[in-house]
Chain A
Amino acid sequence: MEILVCVKRVPDTAENEIEINRDGSDIERDDLVYSVNEWDNYAVEEAIQIVDKVGGAVTVVSLGDEESEEVVRREMAMGAHNGILVTDDVFAGSDGKGIAAILKAVVEKGTYDLILTGAQADDGAGQIGGMLAAMLDMPYASVVNSIEVLNDSQLKVGREIEGGNQEMNEIALPCVLSIQTGINEPRYVGIRGIRKVASVDIPIWGASDLGLDPANVGESGAGVKRVDYFVPELGEGAEILEGSNEEIAEKLIDLLKAKGGIK
């Protein structure tokens, strides 16, 4: 099975406090720790496991700036066979449709049976997989938390729905799936793994390589544009307890007793 996995380089919210820059035009990006989007990492692991079972190859593509090469390489160190970096100044400011249109061009440059994305990203909208599927006229399933290959033309997929329940579906290949965290346990990538792929050639594609008209992507083609970032006016918020840990604990114990928090 030929599998394409779309991955994104994002600020790692587990490692960063996200703050807004002075004029509200962006988040403060100095000193941010970036990593591969967590959901995408599960998608790559799932693709590798499928190929380990039924054969084929995993290709990872990342759309972003040149720095995104590092996440492509990282996912290749995990075991993805091929990597593609898609970057071009004219792509800046693309909305979801613009990004999906670019990825559609990537898909059509190859031959894939299965296309995976992460179900969402911390700085995203959970929209690319569904848009890409509709553009390609392929079936789609979102928030997928299990995949079983039934045969050459069909998968059985579980979707995580509300209340911890799982919705089972049969889906025809080729298709697009957006992958939920927890579907597997992504393998650890060590320094040795990274070294092994350090000099692998990763092709870089821009708008002309993909046959895209710059007018249809990037900011000029966007129907949805970002205006600014802001910190919402908070309600009262929590009463923050101050003091040493011992002092805070004593205050908190009094409150917990009053509220029935200590039996």
Chain B
Amino acid sequence: MAAQVFAYIEHKNGVADDTALELVSAARNIFPDASPAAIVTGSGADLDAVCNDLAASYSEVWKFDNEALAYPNAEAIRKLLVAVLPAEAVVLVPHDTFGMDLAPGLSIKLNSVFVSDAAGFESLDGDNLKVIRQEYSGQVSTHLMANISAGAVINVRPGVFQPDESKSATGQVIDKSSEIGELTVGRRFLEVVEAEAGDVDITKEDILVSVGRGIEDQDNIEIAQELAEVVGGVVSCSRPIVDAKWLEKPRQVGTSGQTVKPKVYMALGISGSFQHLGGIKGNPFIVAVNKNPKAPIFQIADVGVVEDLLDFVPVLTEKIQEGK
């Protein structure tokens, strides 16, 4: 195995992101005998804590400590990686808003191929890596063939690979801070503005009646509200509903919204993109109502109703009321 494999580690408040251990499995999925190196950038005690933890999972942990890296600025980190990575490196990055910021440009500067949002690796034949991706909001999957002879930057979908919890590595933390070089950037981080709290806290509810594009019109949201009332739940939604300004952002479930852990989740007219499903935790009982039988939501739901929600949900609400 000629290629050296690196995993970019995201972390916050001294704790590595869940993807840190998923990338170990992803690396071994590509190269069965890989011993990937972790790349950790940041500053101070939080950085040290993350690096020391990771030494149980990675054979090498490359530490880059610099005040300019205290907040992960993709432009600065790209410069750093271009300076320190060996030729033909295979770099794994979580596919999230940071990975989307960093990875495409990194592949240009490293002159290697880029694979976005990989959901699986099927085979490696010489330099040809066969990758699985999803397209059209998960309605179909596709195989891509990437030529990794000059290395690769691969964004890996979070939550797909089982985290390697074995903690079997006795790795060492290597302080590479002296190799950082200049980090001048054209984009300067100012601050993170926290999401505003809404009138309800959907993260604390046991029953969520969640609406998506299938609701079709703002006036129809009433249909979901009526159901929520009779079952004792609250209304949440998927991203397009917030984009259309039909409901407030604090009601949005998904990676760019709230992470919820209800007992019962009713997905009405929601197709079930992985960004939406990424916000549903705790293995709730999921009911999907969607007129498209191919909607990905039916793959993960417990119970499905292939009907137009606008026809079905009023009937359901009425039946529940009758029974009360």
Contact = CB atoms under 8 A, between A and B. Distances in A.
Contacts of A239: 302-304
Contacts of A238: 286, 288, 298-304
B100 A235 contact: no
Interface in A208-260: 223-232, 234-235, 237-241, 245-246, 248-250, 252-253, 255-256, 259-260
B305 A228 contact: no
B142 A165 contact: no
Contact of B315 (A229, A241, A246): A246
A156 interface: yes
What is the predominant secondary structure among interface residues of chain A facing chain B?
mixed
B318 to A, nearest CB: 8
Contacts of B187: 139-141, 169-172, 175
A256 B264 contact: yes
B242 interface: yes
A102 to B, nearest CB: 14
A133 interface: yes
Interface stretch (A12-20, A47-55, A70-78, A108-116): A12-20
B190 A139 contact: no
A201 interface: no
A18 B139 contact: yes
B305 A240 contact: yes
B105 A130 contact: yes
A191 to B, nearest CB: 21
A172 B97 CA distance: 20
B75 interface: yes
B319 A135 contact: no
Contact of B193 (A131, A158, A241): A158
B233 to A, nearest CB: 8
B249 interface: yes
Contacts of A138: 186
A233 to B, nearest CB: 10
B195 A237 contact: no
A96 interface: yes
Contact of A122 (B115, B136, B185, B299): B136
B201 to A, nearest CB: 13
A123 B135 contact: yes
B253 to A, nearest CB: 10
A232 B141 contact: yes
A160 interface: yes
A140 B263 contact: no
B172 to A, nearest CB: 31
Interface stretch (B48-56, B61-69, B106-114, B217-225): B106-114
Contact of B303 (A163, A181, A225, A252): A252
Contacts of A159: 97, 101
A113 to B, nearest CB: 13
B140 A230 contact: yes
B113 to A, nearest CB: 4
Contacts of B312: 245, 248-249
A245 B315 contact: yes
7 contacts: A13-B139, A126-B100, A130-B105, A160-B97, A164-B256, A238-B286, A238-B303
Given A227-B142, A255-B285, 4 more contacts: A131-B114, A142-B74, A172-B186, A249-B320
